[in-house]
């Protein structure tokens, strides 16, 4: 079970690093430099897949960690 957790954590780190840089958008919110910041922009294609994979891997990591903690 620990090896599964190790593999999930490595995959989670890799997929988080693949995500787009949204820090510049958050910084522009305070400086007022980005007018399109609050527009409803949907994720599409690979970006949507990466976002959902991050969510699933995070949940699996949490559940496995909880199981290992309780037993």
Q: What pLDDT, on a 0 to 100 scale, did the predictor assign at position 20?
A: 78
Q: What pLDDT, on a 0 to 100 scale, did the predictor assign at position 49?
A: 93
Q: What pLDDT, on a 0 to 100 scale, did the predictor assign at position 4?
A: 95
Q: What share of the chain is helix, strand, coil (3-state, %, to 5)?
A: 70, 0, 30
Question: CA 9, CA 27: separation in Å to the nearest integer?
Answer: 28
- H helices then E strands: how many in the chain? 3, 0
Contact between 8 and 60 (Cβ < 8 Å): yes
The tally of domains found in the chain comes to 1
Contact between 53 and 59 (Cβ < 8 Å): no
| Residue pLDDT, tens place only, 39-69 | 667 778 899 999 999 999 999 999 999 999 9
Q: What pLDDT, on a 0 to 100 scale, did the predictor assign at position 43?
A: 77
| Residue pLDDT, tens place only, 4-41 | 999 999 999 999 999 877 655 555 556 665 555 566 67
Q: Which domain holds residue 43?
A: 2-70
Q: Which residue has the tokens 């997929």?
A: 15
């Amino acid at each position: 079970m620990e090896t599964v957790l190790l593999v999930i954590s490595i995959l989670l780190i890799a997929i988080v690093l693949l995500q787009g840089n949204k820090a510049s958008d958050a910084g522009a919110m305070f400086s007022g430099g980005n007018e399109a910041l609050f527009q409803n922009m949907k994720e599409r294609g690979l970006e949507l897949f990466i976002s959902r994979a991050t969510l699933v891997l995070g949940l699996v990591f949490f559940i496995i960690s909880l199981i290992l903690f309780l037993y």
